[in-house]
Structure 1
Amino acid sequence: MKPKSECIPLNPQFSRMFSEELTENDEAIFAKITTTRLSSEQVDRIVNPATLYPRQETVLAVHWHPEHIPLELVEQRIHNTFPNMKKSLIIPTQHNELLCFHEYAGVEIDAYSKGFNQKVQLLLHFHERRVQSAHVLKSMLAYTLKYRQHQMNDLLDTLIKPNESRIQLAATETGANDECIRFVQAQMKKLSLLIGHHYDKIPIEVFKNKLLRDFLDEYRPEYGDAWINRAQIFLHAVKQIVKSQFPMRYFYRTSEIIEEVRSLGGGIVIPHPEQFWPILLADYDVDGYEIWNPQSRRYTEFLISVVNRKNAVQIRSSKRLLLFMGDDTHMGEKIRDVDKQDPEKAAREIGVQPAWEEIPIRKALITANMSRKCVIEEYKARLGEEMPKTDPQ
């Protein structure tokens, strides 16, 4: 049964009343934002990048997210982006979902570091043959994958039950008035009903916080950019509060994940290091650090010097820490309607990391004896080494 309709007055600029009752338009919007089917136009947008890099012959891409875009289409895009590519290491890192791309497999897993009481992320990379029977790792990933749905449910509950303390905190941070809050709550009630009605048909990858953002965005033609932008600012603030208070029980400890990856002979890279400063001090058994990312550019030269010093005093292992750059491309962003894209995210490209060519950073990399080419060669050698021997007892 449909819920009892409750009319909520909108901003005076709107002459009509907003109703919480589900309409055919709401159903159509929900179907649009939850489908994983691509139109011919979207396929064309994926396989034909706007910018080509014919001079780049070496491509290192070990931090990117295909989301629901088929890997065969992503592969076409990569080859079209780098028509003269000769050496490469390209591994997808879907959030908490292991994917294979030719001879390599990868994943970005969320973890919990007890030492500094914080959620962190790890990039895990493997030769494909090593994860064919990785039952423990796959079960860990399956458990962790569920956290995004739990967090989305927490976000919805915060808005529609509601959690008044969180809502007031978000309203104070953003200046959202009662009218804006009621509008967002009413829209999220609709979304919650739609999820309930279609739950068994929705792909699991859809269950994440951005579903709420996407749902609101589709009402821009009806309510206008100014109003939806205002609502999105408030929604984003609520999301950040929910994320900051989310319980750590949904994550395995960082040390547990590292131990399992090493038992499989996999590689481990720390992404977004400037967001996780304590990791630089934790002395985890990892293969390297990401020292540049579209979200993490400020400390690149400093991070190179830190890793360089660590390598200079490395005693316990002959393997040096490697320097990586991650483009952190989210392919799903590229098929959104242009007026609803996040321009910064939409501009990211698999394998495009301009910092490799920036003069100050190049000088620092030369000092560290690092380059895309040598990182590819060294990391491939590690991922291609023989499987670790296990104790027969």
Structure 2
Amino acid sequence: MNTTASCPQAVKISPEITDEDRARFHEVISTELADWQVEQITTPSKIYPRQEKLLALHWHPEFVPLSLITQRVNAMFPNVSDKMMIPTQHNVLMSYGDYTGVEVDCYASGFNQKVQLLLHFENERVEEAHVLKSMLAHTFKYRSSQLFEYMDTITKPIEDRIDKASRETGADEDLVEMVRVYVTKLQTILDEEWSNVPRESIKNKLIKNYFDAMRPKYGDNLINRIQAYLKGVKKLVKANFSLKFFYRATEVIEEARSLGGCVVIPHPEEFWPILLAKYDVDGIEVWNPQSQRYTEFLISVVNEQNASRPSGSRDLLIFMGDDCHMSEKTKSLETQDAVKAAREIGLQPAWDNLNIRKKLIIAGIDRQSVITEYRSRLAR
């Protein structure tokens, strides 16, 4: 009988790596899909028979095969007559149909902040894109290194960060020590198994997923407390992560333009100053599941900028991004993040919101007009 499953208190853990610890690690990093996961991926929870246009330019396949994603999208939107879907894996080019996309972490030197950009291309434009691919490989490797800083913060530990995170999340000494021991084990196993670890697993969520896998052993109360503490630590790691090794946003845009690509600003609600930078971009994402508060205002910003643009210049387009991370669909329902799991490729209800539609009508924009115009721009 498991006596710790219902106990919310942290427990003393042996530092020795057990077979159970190692098995849990392999479970968490595995990209192989069981039959129940395939079924969960390909069977959407809701169908949208009245949506006839599908525009999805900000979504993350992660390790989920594109063939399964296609099945899910086709099942969700059975009556779509025109669609544009371009994946935007973090710092990795990925193709779907005629197009290739990527979401790039970069540095906006004008206001000293990390930002992200969506790049989209026709496939053939990036077949020989050696410079861009090298830039992305560097960015992927550096961005992945944040996991190691995150682990070191916990295991070394970096006391000021640990103290602050524990104070802000109410984590006691026993919980902090329990987390330190387990993350030390995880770090050791990761080093020992490095040659067999899928590179897409080298990200901050590895720690979150590792502790989520312990819910049957320790129960939700304790794991929820641990996850709150880990989130506090991760926030401090991100805030102190050096930006100087990222490429500047202007460098990324210039390289994309040299290849005939298009550029979109996602998450403007998180990166307000980027709207003032007047980068050479094709459009702005005015809505996604993380950024809903200022959608109407952002549409007005785009409209005002377009009204003041010189005659003959291309208008900024209005985009909406579902920001769906498909790996969430592979988790058991009890371990899914409900908010993230609700995101779906092509599901952007703001297009049909009556208040938002009023502003879109003034702008002369709907899904179909954006699909048509963006398709034209990508073909130039």
Residues 1:59 and 1:17: Cα distance change in structure 2 (over 3 Å) = same
CA contact (8 A) 1:10 1:183 kept: no
Answer yes or no: is 1:365 the counterpart of 2:360: yes
Residues 1:116 and 1:17: Cα distance change in structure 2 (over 3 Å) = closer
- Tell me the matched-pair count: 377
Answer yes or no: is 1:217 the counterpart of 2:212: yes
Give the corresponding residue for 1:288: 283
CA contact (8 A) 1:333 1:342 kept: yes
- Equivalent positions of 1:272-311 (< 5 A) are 272-311=267-306
* 3-state SS of paired residue (2:84): strand
Aligned equivalents of 2:10 and 2:79: distance in 1? Answer: 57
Answer yes or no: is 1:156 the counterpart of 2:160: no
CA contact (8 A) 1:110 1:144 kept: yes
CA contact (8 A) 1:148 1:209 kept: no
Aligned equivalents of 1:262 and 1:143: distance in 2? Answer: 19
CA contact (8 A) 1:65 1:95 kept: yes
Once the 2 structures are TM-superposed, how far is the Cα of residue 177 of structure 1 from its aligned partner?
Answer: 1.1
Once the 2 structures are TM-superposed, how far is the Cα of residue 249 of structure 1 from its aligned partner?
Answer: 2.5
Name the TM-score, length of structure 2 as normaliser. Answer: 0.97
Q: Supply the AA of the counterpart residue of 2:151.
A: L
CA contact (8 A) 2:323 2:343 kept: yes
Aligned equivalents of 2:9 and 2:249: distance in 1? Answer: 51
Question: How far does the alpha carbon of each residue in 1:115-141 deviate from its partner, in whole angstroms, 9 at most, with x for none?
Answer: 000000000000111011111100000
Give the corresponding residue for 1:198: 193
Q: 2:168 aligns with which of 169, 173, 185?
A: 173
Give the corresponding residue for 1:255: 250
Once the 2 structures are TM-superposed, how far is the Cα of residue 27 of structure 1 from its aligned partner?
Answer: 1.2
Answer yes or no: is 1:322 the counterpart of 2:323: no
Q: Supply the AA of the counterpart residue of 1:362.
A: R
Give the corresponding residue for 2:373: 378
Answer yes or no: is 1:57 the counterpart of 2:52: yes
Aligned equivalents of 1:340 and 1:80: distance in 2? Answer: 24
Once the 2 structures are TM-superposed, how far is the Cα of residue 17 of structure 1 from its aligned partner?
Answer: 4.1
- Equivalent positions of 1:232-247 (< 5 A) are 232-247=227-242
* 3-state SS of paired residue (2:110): helix
Name the TM-score, length of structure 1 as normaliser. Answer: 0.93
Unaligned runs of 5+ in 1: 1-8, 386-393
Once the 2 structures are TM-superposed, how far is the Cα of residue 73 of structure 1 from its aligned partner?
Answer: 1.1
Give the corresponding residue for 1:113: 108
Q: 1:352 aligns with which of 338, 347, 355?
A: 347
Unaligned runs of 5+ in 2: none
Answer yes or no: is 1:104 the counterpart of 2:90: no
Residues 1:34 and 1:363: Cα distance change in structure 2 (over 3 Å) = same
Residues 1:68 and 1:325: Cα distance change in structure 2 (over 3 Å) = same
CA contact (8 A) 2:7 2:222 kept: no
* 3-state SS of paired residue (2:134): helix
Q: 2:82 aligns with which of 83, 87, 90?
A: 87
Once the 2 structures are TM-superposed, how far is the Cα of residue 49 of structure 1 from its aligned partner?
Answer: 1.0
Aligned equivalents of 2:205 and 2:173: distance in 1? Answer: 23
* 3-state SS of paired residue (2:276): helix
Q: Supply the AA of the counterpart residue of 1:75.
A: T
- Equivalent positions of 1:121-160 (< 5 A) are 121-160=116-155
Aligned equivalents of 2:8 and 2:107: distance in 1? Answer: 47
Give the corresponding residue for 1:208: 203
Identity across aligned pairs (percent)?
A: 52
* 3-state SS of paired residue (1:18): coil
Which is bigger in relative contact order (C-alpha 8 A, separation at least 6)? 2
Aligned equivalents of 1:15 and 1:311: distance in 2? Answer: 57
Q: 2:225 aligns with which of 188, 208, 230?
A: 230
Once the 2 structures are TM-superposed, how far is the Cα of residue 147 of structure 1 from its aligned partner?
Answer: 2.2
Question: How far does the alpha carbon of each residue in 1:325-348 deviate from its partner, in whole angstroms, 9 at most, with x for none?
Answer: 000000000111111110010011
Aligned equivalents of 1:14 and 1:235: distance in 2? Answer: 16
- Equivalent positions of 1:33-48 (< 5 A) are 33-48=28-43
79-88 or 10-19, which moves further after superposition? 10-19
